[in-house]
Amino acid sequence: MKMIELNQINKIYGTKLSKTTALSDINFSADQGEMITVTGPSGSGKSTFIKILGGILSPTSGSVKINGQDYEALSKKAQSNFRLNNISFVLQSYNLLPYLKVKDQFELANRVKEHNNIKKSSFDDLIDELGLKDLLNHYPDELSGGQQQRVAIARAVYTNPKIILADEPTAALDGKRAIEVMEQFRKLAHEQNKLIILITHDDRLIKYADKNYQIVDGKGKFVGVDEKNLV
């Protein structure tokens, strides 16, 4: 069983008068322990794809299975619980709360999801690993973009999800910081068995992934290793 399976997914926005087919006949699957980049031109359907993967948008047709569960068959409340227990998002804008110190950003996550968050010792390791130890008592606006994004990653990992979905998490970072963030994601996939799916506009970052899924005009395919090396 795959961690995520999309079958014949179509997504159409709007009505007859202004209809946009954002995704057509998408078949996609991914396993835990994999790091996958999603690339494609602007407007090709990447954000729509990742929102459907994360269960925050319903497809017009097709099936979404996450961890073997037919996601669309769940009630809204069950979907919300399921997301809380399985999926974290990391966004380009970090989404940190400006009036909370770094350490309190985790407290907040604790309030939203009380159970099955990572253990204290794993948390300390995570903070060490991401170089956040000296930043715990700082507010987000005292941190660089790279540091804020690392806090956002730590917060995403804190709730112990099986899947981390990231929509252009490196867009606001310079080249060096972007590579650091990619390396962190890669480690999370390979050492902690997370499934990481990450949208990027930057083809130079594809090499940090195990696979690259390319979406063009709403149609997707995995781009082979040979092709990938040409980038």
Out of 5, 30, 36, 40, the only residue in the binding site for ligand ATP (CB under 6 A) is 40
Out of 20, 27, 110, 144, the only residue in the binding site for ligand ATP (CB under 6 A) is 20
The least CB distance from residue 168 to ligand ATP, in Å, is: 8
The least CB distance from residue 216 to ligand ATP, in Å, is: 10
Count of Cβ atoms closer than 10 Å to residue 193 Cβ: 13
| Alpha carbon distances (Å) from 218 to 17, 26, 56, 163 | 20, 8, 18, 23
CA 126, distance to chain mean position in Å, is: 18
Out of 15, 42, 121, 229, the only residue in the binding site for ligand ATP (CB under 6 A) is 42
The least CB distance from residue 228 to ligand ATP, in Å, is: 19
Q: Coil, strand or helix: which one is 201?
A: coil
Q: Residue 10 forms beta bridges with which residues?
A: 61
175 lies in the binding site for ligand ATP (CB under 6 A): no
- Select 43 or 131, whichever has its Cβ closest to ligand ATP: 43
Q: Which two tokens stand for residue 199?
A: 């949208």
29 lies in the binding site for ligand ATP (CB under 6 A): no
Residues of this chain, 134-153, that bind ligand ATP according to CB under 6 A: none
User: Residue 44: CA atoms inside 13 Å, Cβ hemisphere, count?
Assistant: 18
DSSP state of 157: H
Residues of this chain, 46-75, that bind ligand ATP according to CB under 6 A: 46-48
DSSP run (H or E) holding 84: helix 76-86
| Residues engaged in binding ligand ATP (CB under 6 A) | 13-14, 20, 22, 40, 42-48
